[in-house]
Amino acid sequence: MSTPPKEANPIKESVNLPQTDFPIRAGLINLEPELLEQWQESNLAEAISTKQSQATKRWILHDGPPYPNGNIHMGHALNKILKDIIVRTKTMQGYASPYRPGWDCHGLPIEIQLLKQLQKEKNTELKADIPAFRNRCKEFALNYVETQKDDFKRLGINATWNTPYLTLDPHYEAEVIRCFGKMADNGLIYKGRKPIHWCMHCETALAEAEIEYDEHRSPSITVAFPIKTKSDALTRVIGDQNTHFLVWTTTPWTLPANVALAANSEYDYVAFNCEKGTFIAVKELVEKITEDAELGPITIIGSVKGAQLIGSVAHHPFIERESPVLNADFVTNEDGTGFVHIAPGHGQDDYFLGLEHQLPIIMPVDDKGHFTKDVPAWEGQQVFEANKAIGMHLEEAGKLIKLKFIKHSYPHCWRCKNPVIFRATEQWFVGMDRKMTHTGNTLREDALQAIKDTKWYPDWGEKRIRSMVEGRPDWCISRQRSWGIPIPAITCTGCGESLTGGKTNEHIAQFVRKHGTTAWFESDVTDIVPGASCPSCSGTAFKKESDILDVWFESGASFMGVLETDPAMTNPAAMYLEGSDQHRGWFQSSLLIGIGAMGKAPFESVLTHGFIVDEKGQKMSKSQGNVIAPEKVVKQYGADILRWWCAGTDFKNDVAISDNILNQARDSFGKVRNTIRFMLSNLADFEFETEAVLPSELTPIDAWILTQFNALLGKCNTHIANFDFHQLVHNVHDFCAVTLSGQYLDVVKDRLYCDSKKGLSRRSTQTTIYQMADALIRLVSPILVFTAEDAYRHFNSNNKETSIHLTALPTQIPNAQINQTDWSHFAEIKGAVYQELEAMRKNKEIKSFLEVKVTITTPTPPNIGNIAELLIVSQANVIKGNSVSYNIEKLPDEKCERCWRFLPTTQNLCTRCAPEVTPV
RNA sequence: GGGAGGAUAGCUCAGGUGGUUAGAGCGCACGCCUGAUAAGCGUGAGGUCCCAGGUUCAAUUCCUGGUCUUCCCA
């Protein structure tokens, strides 16, 4: 690194200046691709895996499969980098920790994207040809699997990239089907009719995970329901007056499905007269309603408790149908009228109330959201469009009291962004509260127990997922789509009985393993399940199920498709690690299937990280213009900077990124790298095996720095154990910036450069630096995978592996005892002396600290070696005295030409340096 | 609307089971060095610990209510 002297200068040449080929600039942008290529050629991944295969203990991190429909974003990068760091530290701790990546290949997003593509190709009829359509979906998915694979590889992620698990792999699909079969055998799977979110554009049921809430403009109408039968209490209040209940709804189109009204028995209701007639509404809202609807002056006739209304019956406003008044505590007195219209075919609350009171489920809306012939007046009309006609009809009948429009939060389809409706359809479910034959408990009970038995990082994750599992409804696992695994069930055409488990399932699983699930859509039932006969009616004619499974069911079964079937894995896995959104997603689906199919959770611990936000803490969005793509960061800074940033941030919270933050990560990284570089450069002429000194021979400052370094290693071990990498990064950085650079290396430069080349002091320091450099490189290697490798290659050692990534995490370095009190005393002395020296420099009395001699008086002179060296001044004395004081004097201008210290010289050389110069 | 996180210097993070002037590093300013040089060293200035109440001799810490923000749900 030093430029050769222009002319021979024996003094200059005698100085042992640092030397290394480890470049001053990291050059990550060029270095990283080169190393990746070299690792590929030398098959480093294989070497790591071979080393792991000798390990006796296993620690498996099971990869949650990302969705292959685009390039990776920063969230993916954060997730995979964290996983990589953890797996690498486990590997370096001696665990077999193979990391097998996966992709979640089926599902609606790919279908939607493909449909758009087909539209461009003017080839929309392909959608009807399910096998052909599925083949295109597959092509699409596999294409992005490769894209994302390349993206991840570029980040330095070490994984079995050649053998990923894909949810579209027939072997994997067969295991999903087996999970379904086991759950069916355990009594969990049932078929039912239930209102679910339905997207009429995508013509599919949507899972809760597929719903987004957004602003929507809805009509808000108040409808008069004529009272047909009054309860006794109500009769006492209004007599035989012709009276109406005021009912509020924002979905007029569900009125044809109305079968009841709900009131809250806790509230007071009043009957009042006005120009338009006699009405009943909840007391708290009467004023608001009459004002809103401009009913004019009103007269209150009487009041009645909500409970006394129950049992009354209203007449449907435009259909020959009765509508009984039922009690429901979801009716509020904050909005509306105190009466809620109930349509069990179109609402969750309505459905449960209907179950309770055995109400019929009327659902006159087809897949496209159009009224069926059951609503002759508006048959064929799309429901949102029919709102207007229904309103007009009510108006004409004199039943419409008020119509306005409101903007409110309303569920939308996550893909097509259109508002969705609630609609009762035939679906498959996993029952949360059915007794399971294999454990005797319900799925909910066992899942809650398993949550307790799992270690959650951070700990509040447990509370979060527990409340979700406690409150969640049965899991609707069917989808009316084509890109996925079919619901593995066949139905008797004679009696309608469905076969799901047992032998049927074995046949289907076997068939799928051999032919894949696309063949399901092409084959006859008899080819898939030969010789089936109905246990109910002994019929032998069956039809295949045409729905597919929720993709969360597929990915949730990955423990079966991967952990259970891959001999390199363990089931359960030691850890699942994803963003905190997966408490509802993958963690939960994995847990439910794990319990439902095999009676245990597929993970021992679950770690979650936060989401990527910008420096202001706001989420990334195209509209905000604050999106930072990993690809761009890799190109501009290098993957190691991205990794250093990932590791240096507290991922339990949301993770902020910006140019400012990345620049800081780059600077921080640079400090660590440069410190390592300086250490390496002072080992060029050192051979550890023959020249190292014994711990007992170490000079005081070397023993001191090793004590500090061992303390750092101790802390870092704890941080690794707790997955607190940000603390490790901070500790390592601060250690490099302050303890090493400022307090140790700066001091030790003089002896490295000027002391006798093979003398004890220099070798003591080289021994120290050698061991610290070795340990430091290994310590950061799980994070800085490229830089550590580069440094390791430039590390002058005879005892190296072929790659840093085949080494172990560092352990404590053998050291001599030090006197802590002496060193803390010295720290005080140094602080005080430096303040004075700085003042002198400000006053222009001196320029460099080397110009002075320091005399320290103290009752307890520290025994820590040469004080002048430690203070980096030319001369120093420590005198024993009663109190502490410092005297600083400027030395006469007599300077050693070799070590630049102000010392008595002969021929321009001090007594230390003179013997080191070989005369020409 | 409900549940769960988070909020400490410009930035990334420590910390305190309540107790004098709340820490670190980076960045910044000023200076030094030119034998770590697209490097290195020193000194220094930066904080209403999100806001408002309450409990207390004492609150950044405990309690209550907000604000902003993230995730999940409706």
pLDDT in tens, A645-678: 999 999 999 999 999 999 999 999 999 999 999 9
A79 touches strand B (CB under 7 A): no
Lowest model confidence (mean pLDDT) among A158-172, A321-335, A505-519, A739-753: A321-335
pLDDT at residue A388 greater than cutoff 70: yes
**In the structure, how far is the CA atom of residue A733 from the C1' atom of nucleotide B46, in angstroms?**
22
Dist CA A611 CA A342 (whole Å): 39
pLDDT tens track for A509-536: 999 999 999 999 999 999 999 988 899 8
Torsion sign (Cα): A617, A623, A626, A629:
positive
**In the structure, how far is the CA atom of residue A727 from the C1' atom of nucleotide B15, in angstroms?**
13
pLDDT at residue A830 greater than cutoff 50: yes
Please tell me the pTM assigned to this model.
0.88
pLDDT at residue A133 greater than cutoff 60: yes
pLDDT at residue A355 greater than cutoff 80: no
Contacts of A36 (CB under 8 A, 6+ apart): A153, A154, A156
A793 touches strand B (CB under 7 A): no
A661 touches strand B (CB under 7 A): yes
pLDDT tens track for A45-100: 999 999 998 898 999 999 999 999 999 999 999 999 999 999 999 999 999 999 99
**In the structure, how far is the CA atom of residue A130 from the C1' atom of nucleotide B72, in angstroms?**
35
A846 touches strand B (CB under 7 A): no
pLDDT at residue A576 greater than cutoff 70: yes
pLDDT at residue A266 greater than cutoff 80: no
A143 with A485: CB under 8 angstroms?
no
Lowest model confidence (mean pLDDT) among A351-365, A698-712, A802-816, A839-853: A351-365
Mean pLDDT of A320-336: 83
A579 nearest nucleotide via C1' and CA: B71
Nucleotides of B under 7 A from a protein CB: 1, 3-6, 10-14, 24-27, 31-44, 68-74
Dist CA A815 CA A711 (whole Å): 12
pLDDT, position A4: 47
Mean pLDDT of A530-553: 92
Contacts of A641 (CB under 8 A, 6+ apart): A28, A633, A662, A665, A666, A669
Portion of chain A with pLDDT greater than 90, in percent? 73
Residue A66: name the closest of A209, A154, A167 by CA.
A167
A819 touches strand B (CB under 7 A): no
Torsion sign (Cα): A792, A798, A802, A808:
negative
pLDDT at residue A329 greater than cutoff 80: no
pLDDT at residue A209 greater than cutoff 80: no
pLDDT band at A328 (very low <50, low <70, confident <90, very high): confident
A214 burial type by CB count under 10 A (0-12 exposed, 13-18 middle, 19+ buried)? exposed
Mean pLDDT of A807-834: 94
Q: Please identify which residue in the block is written with the tokens 């009943």.
A: A280
pLDDT tens track for A755-786: 999 999 999 999 999 999 999 999 999 999 99
Tokens of A524: 């006859």
**In the structure, how far is the CA atom of residue A604 from the C1' atom of nucleotide B26, in angstroms?**
38
Lowest model confidence (mean pLDDT) among A264-273, A315-324, A369-378, A834-843: A264-273
Q: Please identify which residue in the block is written with the tokens 């949550």.
A: A451
Mean pLDDT of A734-741: 96
A676 nearest nucleotide via C1' and CA: B36
pLDDT, position A348: 82
Buried b (16+ CB within 10 A) or exposed e, A116-145: eebeeeeeeeebeebeebbebbbebbeebb
A898 nearest nucleotide via C1' and CA: B35
A655 nearest nucleotide via C1' and CA: B70
Mean per-residue pLDDT of chain A: 92
In A546-653, which residue ranges form alpha helices assigned H by DSSP? 551-556, 558, 586-593, 630-636, 639-648
Mean pLDDT of A579-586: 94
A208 nearest nucleotide via C1' and CA: B73
pLDDT band at A5 (very low <50, low <70, confident <90, very high): very low
A408 touches strand B (CB under 7 A): no
Tokens of A494: 């004679």
A612 touches strand B (CB under 7 A): no
pLDDT at residue A143 greater than cutoff 60: yes
A655 touches strand B (CB under 7 A): yes
A9 touches strand B (CB under 7 A): no
Dist CA A283 CA A269 (whole Å): 5
Dist CA A190 CA A534 (whole Å): 17
Task: End-to-end CA distance of chain A: give it in Å, rounded.
Answer: 24
Tokens of A846: 């001196």
A409 touches strand B (CB under 7 A): yes
**In the structure, how far is the CA atom of residue A11 from the C1' atom of nucleotide B36, in angstroms?**
20
